[in-house]
Structure 1
């Protein structure tokens, strides 16, 4: 499967939301100075794909990645990173590393992150207990993969790693869980 650029996946997601009159759910794009401020405050550069995510929308509003991860705004990235590094700095098990830069949150202490110290960009997860609950599904291979798979699932209605897109009738853009389902 050929992955498309993040900007193309954003356009597909925006189109799906627009068709449902939900486009207002997304935040406006981040400004260059917002992204520069992240690097300044964290002392590490963002992954280029993370920059593209924020240049598409500086946070997701009520839109979520499967199953329930909201995209963090530039300010929220800094806040989530500070909380994680402060809480887990001296913890002997499952510490949170300073080069793990969060890009999405479950709003319950868990984040999705990219490890900016590694050349690959495999998505990591760190929940409030210090665990990672991600499956081996290919959507977690990279941020472009997550965006691409999310856009595909929204457009097709197919189950994605046990999750089905939000219903057109629901007030909240939450993915439905189907624990025994496979991708179709």
Structure 2
């Protein structure tokens, strides 16, 4: 498996070769990463720490880099986590899963059967409010640190990878192999089939 640094190199090289500038932010200071861990009371996966130490999310006003998802900075991770966790603790999500019948599905067997878990670490968001999260409290059938999608209006919580390292490698490989391309139309990364 490629290292996180090698994956970043693939992405940085591709962006440079295709004239896509000013998308990635500067590295996150160690103190900012520590602030995320202290706020959430977790130890972040090493691969994710290296990810942030290379680029602390995206630059202000840049378009989404992960298909329709834009990367969060450490401060945005904390802000989003606090927002969702405050709603959880206020009881906003109580019974929310029961509002949906079986046609809409439920979190899969790898994910806790809840609307929000305070051990989910949001690291990317789309314009609709959907989140990519690192799941640090999976069900017994899941994997510690698996990557899940948290839909803002649907109860399913699909697993995208068993770890952040696996997910990031898959993203870098998709760019390298041309499965993902930068769309001048949307100013974001899209699958090649969507763009053509």
Give TM class, smaller chain.
0.7 to 0.9
User: Taking structure 2 as the reference length, what is the TM-score of the superposition?
Assistant: 0.74
1:14·1:23 contact (CA, 8 Å) conserved in 2?
A: no
Q: Alignment partner for residue 125 of structure 1, among 121, 124, 149?
A: 149
Match of 2:22 in 1: 24
Q: State the shift of 1:133 in Å.
A: 5.8
1:29·1:57 contact (CA, 8 Å) conserved in 2?
A: yes
Task: Measure the CA separation in 1 of the matches of 2:148 and 2:33.
Answer: 21
2:136·2:146 contact (CA, 8 Å) conserved in 1?
A: no
Match of 1:104 in 2: 124
Task: Measure the CA separation in 2 of the matches of 1:177 and 1:105.
Answer: 21
Task: Measure the CA separation in 1 of the matches of 2:76 and 2:192.
Answer: 26
Correspondence 1:166 to 2:195? no
Q: Any residues of structure 2 matched to 1:21-100 within 5 Å, and which? A: 21-61=19-59, 62-65=63-66, 67-89=67-89, 90=91, 91=93, 92=95, 93=97, 94-100=114-120
Cα 1:59–1:132 shift into 2, 3 Å: farther
Match of 2:108 in 1: none
* CA displacement, residues 110-166 of structure 1 (integer Å, 9 cap, x when unaligned): 1111122456221112121253464x6xx62322222222222212213xxxxx422
Match of 2:168 in 1: 147
Unaligned residue ranges in structure 2 (runs of 5+): 98-113
Q: State the shift of 1:32 in Å.
A: 0.3
Q: Secondary structure at the match of 1:21?
A: coil
Task: Measure the CA separation in 2 of the matches of 1:27 and 1:132.
Answer: 31
Report the structure number with the largest CA radius of gyration: 2
Unaligned residue ranges in structure 1 (runs of 5+): 159-163, 180-184
Instruction: Single out whichever of 9-18 and 39-48 deviates more from structure 2.
Output: 39-48
Match of 1:161 in 2: none
